[in-house]
Structure 1
């Protein structure tokens, strides 16, 4: 771990031009170091100011005024990191922000490592590990639901769920241990019913968290989505309809799209990483054939298929081949060109695909139906962002392992094994939950969690 006795500093705003740049300083000497570079307009030292106060002045570097600035003072333990913190807000811009940081470093601060401010907040008990991870989820959120979910975890929604399970299991495990170790004491005997009840509650809560993981990932990371269909069926028009602008070239000439065109769009509460593929057909055109082959490869790997069919034409062999592929992956069948006379036998599609909608992409009609279908198939229509959801594989693994251990405890009891065997499994489950929140975990796990943070956070 890093030496928490050092005072660290970093630029906490984005590296680029902007209205404001913030240099954050944290550690025992934060206020002293800030006083060395910041000159209050009224001459008052930051060391003489209370926490949660601000001062206007300037940054002095190499005997020159570098920039005007505002200094915000936070005193331990009432700060983000739990340490003394000063935030110097100067004019935004790469040069000015870096010069202010250089002045702070030369005054005695050390450059902060990636995620070190949040890491110190965790080590100082301001956040648990799930709440610390939610900080980066808030920063990287690409939708309202993703931001709300991350903020709920940051506010402790997930921690409270885990603590509820953990505390119940701890109570039973402690009772079992005390009853076994001190039989002569007047300790109430633990009954099988009590253990079964605690195990069933834990299994239900942990199972629910695992069930919502994939839904949460759809909100947070998005779904690899392929738009596929035969040439001139309206795939590119659909791509443009979802994107909200002309991303793909649209013509009435079959084979216009010869390669995979990609975009990321928000459809309701679901982020779709869209790929508009070349029309699926046999072709002698070498360039188009490469695009078709790439399209077929994408179909095999996608998380969601938007299979497009032409309402004004009968199904052909290419359509039937697409329907066979649709049976292997989550699919929404989109019947396009409903503004034209119907020639399509929709019953064939209904026999292969459960989710079917009709649209007229050329008229811009049907996006709402697509949103509803996507949210339904992704499960986000059932997602409550305020509940607190698992945000990464580390958390998922801890919950999965804890669930397996609780089930082992219940199975041991059902088979008539001793309470010692039950206790071992319960303690394994508790250990997994303690590791998840960071109450009991090693340096390697902690370092791995903060490795992907940005510097300054």
Structure 2
């Protein structure tokens, strides 16, 4: 309920220099006055102007338990559009929790996950696509992913979609006037102009949809399976990409018997690496289960790094692995480049997007692999400051809009009449309004904010 005043810790949990407790709502100032006493007795919290700060002590009853700073924001000039007070205390979790408890005792209600940003959306401070960008920015690990989220927060996607809506609305207004008011001698829409506008809108939506996968990789990372025969160098590769000895490496085949997981930052991409058991026939029940899990990870992964021993000729297991990688986002790494090459890569090349000779013990190979992964996943072509789609909700709406525009083009080309074109344009506009949140139902709003953290 927006009439309540909410409170929560807005900073990450754990020890730190400061923690921030945020109040938002009509009673923010009175509640802050009950828990914060300015060091200057002549100053009153209730009279504080927006964009000002006071130093003082935090209190529970008559007991002062910390000192810090209060920042004041008057509605509507705040993040949520409501009166907001941010109380900065020392960063020990016990202190921050006590300050929240004091605010609750003074009349605030606990904030739900995403409630601050939800109020910002409901009060018109953010559009729905900008609200979705908040969590993308918080969770971004790479610089390009953060830049994409920041561009969305700044309204890049909303502006692009608004431009397409304006183009379609102008077309629809002309079509509606021509269909509904024949007695007014409204000129029929020029076919070339109609085709040009619809094609332009479709091209813009096609670009957003085409870049969605690469944009998502930059924002969220990708699951990457490292697969290959025993002793091909899989664990050595994991350690190279991780930058430390994450996996045990020995000359004994079958050392890795289960999936070893490690998140690494490879250039602008976060890889969630899964080092798998060596693929071979075995009578060992434990190793066989590890191999079964290896194949499962290969099927699930968004990226496959298949490691082959370059110092030995291809084996039946190598060829089976290559066949399973056919049609998948997979790179073949011919390892042990520092040794005489016995591996004929032509046997497996048709099954992979790229085949790279590497030495998994050398740092230079890390750079080679990083560049190859960026090319394969398309992230090297992404403008981090451009408009981009985030999440299945936005993608689904963009697909519906694109398909409706394509339907309008087909109707116009097929001679089905402008009535049919008008229906398709209507559908496209409805989908674009769903994307930006103008037609957002309560269920859609709940879906957007369910992944938010408390305090944001």
Q: Would the TM-score normalized by the shorter structure come out above 0.5?
A: yes
Partner of 1:315: 314
Following the alignment from structure 1 to structure 2, what is the Cα–Cα distance between the partners of residues 343 and 415? 59
Residues 79-94 of structure 1 correspond to what in structure 2 (within 5 A)?
A: 79-94=78-93
Partner of 2:278: 279
Partner of 1:342: 341
The RMSD of aligned alpha carbons is 1.5
Structure 2: segments with no counterpart, 5+ residues: none
Partner of 2:332: 333
Partner of 2:34: 36
Following the alignment from structure 1 to structure 2, what is the Cα–Cα distance between the partners of residues 150 and 351? 37
Deviations 1:276-333 (A, max 9, x none): 1111111222222221222122222222221111121111111111121121422111
Following the alignment from structure 2 to structure 1, what is the Cα–Cα distance between the partners of residues 166 and 109? 40
Partner of 2:360: 361
Residues 430-441 of structure 1 correspond to what in structure 2 (within 5 A)?
A: 430-441=429-440
Partner of 1:297: 296
Partner of 1:446: 445
Q: 1:25 aligns with which of 23, 26, 51?
A: 23
Does the Cα contact within 8 Å between 2:327 and 2:351 map onto a contact in 1? Answer: no
Name which of structure 1's ranges 104-113 and 69-78 shifts more when overlaid on structure 2. Answer: 104-113
Partner of 1:150: 149
Does the Cα contact within 8 Å between 2:134 and 2:149 map onto a contact in 1? Answer: yes
Name which of structure 1's ranges 188-197 and 17-26 shifts more when overlaid on structure 2. Answer: 188-197
Following the alignment from structure 2 to structure 1, what is the Cα–Cα distance between the partners of residues 405 and 145? 30
Partner of 1:55: 54
Does the Cα contact within 8 Å between 1:302 and 1:329 map onto a contact in 2? Answer: no
Partner of 2:375: 376
Does the Cα contact within 8 Å between 2:35 and 2:106 map onto a contact in 1? Answer: yes
Residues 361-440 of structure 1 correspond to what in structure 2 (within 5 A)?
A: 361-440=360-439
Deviation of 1:184 after TM superposition, in Å, equals 4.1
SS in 2 for 1:292: helix
Following the alignment from structure 2 to structure 1, what is the Cα–Cα distance between the partners of residues 222 and 167? 36
Deviation of 1:133 after TM superposition, in Å, equals 0.5
Deviations 1:419-452 (A, max 9, x none): 2322222111111111211122211111221122
Structure 1: segments with no counterpart, 5+ residues: none
Deviation of 1:52 after TM superposition, in Å, equals 0.6
Following the alignment from structure 1 to structure 2, what is the Cα–Cα distance between the partners of residues 77 and 365? 54
SS in 2 for 1:65: strand
TM-score in terms of structure 1 length = 0.96
Deviations 1:335-389 (A, max 9, x none): 1111111222222233443401111112444111101110111011111111121
Deviation of 1:187 after TM superposition, in Å, equals 4.8
Partner of 2:205: 206
SS in 2 for 1:180: helix
Following the alignment from structure 1 to structure 2, what is the Cα–Cα distance between the partners of residues 302 and 68? 50
Task: Tell me the number of residue pairs that the alignment of Structure 1 and Structure 2 aligns.
Answer: 455
Name which of structure 1's ranges 144-153 and 293-302 shifts more when overlaid on structure 2. Answer: 293-302
Name which of structure 1's ranges 397-406 and 357-366 shifts more when overlaid on structure 2. Answer: 357-366
